[in-house]
Amino acid sequence: MIYRSKRPWIAQQVWKDVLFLHWPIPNDLIQPQIPAPFKMDTYGGKCWISIVLFQALHSRPRGIPIFLSQPDLLQVNIRTYVQLNGVPGVYFLSLDTNSKSTVRGARSLFNLPYRQAHMSFKQDDHGMQFESKTTNQSAEFGCFKARYTPTSIQVDQQTGSLAHFLTERYYLWAIKNKKVLRGSISHQPWDLVGAESQFNVKQRPSFLAAEELYERPIAHYAQSMHAYMHPFERVAIFDQSV
């Protein structure tokens, strides 16, 4: 595994039953939602938006034994793909979870757009079902439901492929108090298969055109991933008044 930061990792987490849903999106729709320091990262001349949902297990700081892990949680992320000074990463439009402590900590420390949500995950012979509803009933992307089943089709993840572009992302960006922050995450390359999915998104953002998110997405599934989080670093200053 390649560590993505010179700083040692400080926390770890296991992501389980990960579903990626990807759509191309016109640049003129998504660009206004992204702060000025960042440049849209494109594949084949297209911008992309993704919904990523998973169980997060065994969350704990470095040095803490697994039996003292924080309670397991669920999470739904809405993200798009950006660069800063040529470094590719993701920019989150929203991050929803059923963990109050995660929401409080991530918002106060890094200004990440976490939101509290009621969530459930079930698995049966027909696949997996994931439901999320934010406590703010009018929030954009506030209600999401998905049923999904992995297929046996292995996904092409070679460097230069679309799947590699969309999933092999090791940096996330945030802005707090005019400081551009970069978070680094290290893990092994994804082992992806295709997925059959049915989903419903309510409270779609106003910036999306009527047809966006109604087209069938590209769906990827990963059974699990052990991820290691590094400290956030200040990499730039952002002053909107300039």
CATH code, 11-172+188-227: 2.40.400.10
Four-CA torsion 69, 224, 95, 58, nearest 10 degrees: 0
Q: Between vectors from CA 194 to CA 26 and to CA 98, what angle results, nearest 5°?
A: 75
| Tens digits of residue pLDDT in 12-31 | 999 999 999 999 998 988 99
Domain edges within the chain: 11-172+188-227
Rounded Cα gap, residues 214 and 180, in angstroms: 33
| Tens digits of residue pLDDT in 120-141 | 999 999 899 999 999 887 777 7
Rounded Cα gap, residues 201 and 55, in angstroms: 19
| Tens digits of residue pLDDT in 90-124 | 999 999 999 999 999 999 999 999 999 999 999 99
The whole-model pTM stands at 0.94
Convert 195-228 to b/e letters by CB count within 10 Å (16 or more is b): bebebebebbbeebeeebbeeebbbbbbeebebb
